[in-house]
Amino acid sequence: MTSKIAAVANLAFHVFRAHSLRSMARRTDAYSENSNSNGIRRLCASSLTNTSEPESLEEVSSDALKTLLTNVSALTLEDVGVDRVHGFDSSSFSAPVIYVHITENEIFSMGMFILRPGSRIPLHSHPGMFGIIRVMQGAVRCQSFTRLSTSQLRAAGGPLAVLSAQGAAKWQLSDFTVAQPHQDTLLNVGCEPCVLTPHTGNLHELTAVDGTVVFLDILAPPYNHDLGARECLFYREVAMPMVTADPATSSFVYLVETHQPKDYWCETAPYRGPSVS
């Protein structure tokens, strides 16, 4: 009999693989209009090694995705090998955050994060990635941000226009990631899975606010640090008085890349739940 976690893994693979194949076909069609056959072959070869990301939630919104989210919602601690009564034993770990790897392939990765009381996963990015978070124990506060597009930055009354009007050098804005903050969200066991897309809520920080937190984390495609295609980057907010004083741009935040914060490091623990194969 297939375990619940194996069913989730199987659904995630098919949902995001189907999207990847559709995206590859669209890019091939577009490229073929102005390319020779050698160019098309190069594009196809690249597509097989660089899994494309969903452009939006609507693009992968399907019965299969709804089924995936329903199955993720139904998971319990026992389904991932964590004792419901005693919880996760973190006594042998010193890190504020522990990661339990469950499975990974070229399409998606799945694992669990365990956050000690009061600890956090600092503000970080998910470049070109789709994510699902399901809290299974405790509660976390999620602070998320959506990166502004180039057209939004350059629009009349946008951050670039305000800086230019005040005589600031245009290169200043290139040092920042300008983002729109979303309302903080409290995620607990009773909440539906939290979903992020490559273009919405793709920068976020998670802070444990109710005891030890355990949450399932699905990312599609996975991080890819080896090739530098999808690296996890950390950010911090900086003050920009000349821009935030303007009503048209006061709601935005300005972020710069930073080193991994000293209060955050992560250890790994073995997965002891049912097989996902």
**Model confidence pLDDT, tens digit, residues 71-125:** 999 999 999 999 876 667 777 889 999 999 999 999 999 999 999 999 999 999 9
Token pair 């389904």: residue: 79
Phi, psi of 28 (to 5 degrees): -65, -45
Q: What percent of the chain has pLDDT over 90?
A: 53
pLDDT tier, 14 (very low <50, low <70, confident <90, very high otherwise): very high
- Ranking 30-34, 206-210, 244-248 by mean pLDDT, the lowest is 30-34
Parallel/antiparallel/unpaired status of strands 266-269 and 97-104: parallel
C-alpha–C-alpha distance, residues 105 and 89, integer Å: 28
DSSP 106: S
Parallel/antiparallel/unpaired status of strands 109-115 and 213-220: antiparallel
Judge: domain 4-269, CATH 2.60.120.10.
yes
pTM of the model: 0.82
pLDDT at 184: 95
CA distances from 139 to 38, 114, 189 (A): 52, 11, 7
C-alpha–C-alpha distance, residues 8 and 206, integer Å: 23
Element (H, E) at 13: helix 4-32
Token pair 């935030």: residue: 244
Q: Locate the domains of the chain by residue range.
A: 4-269
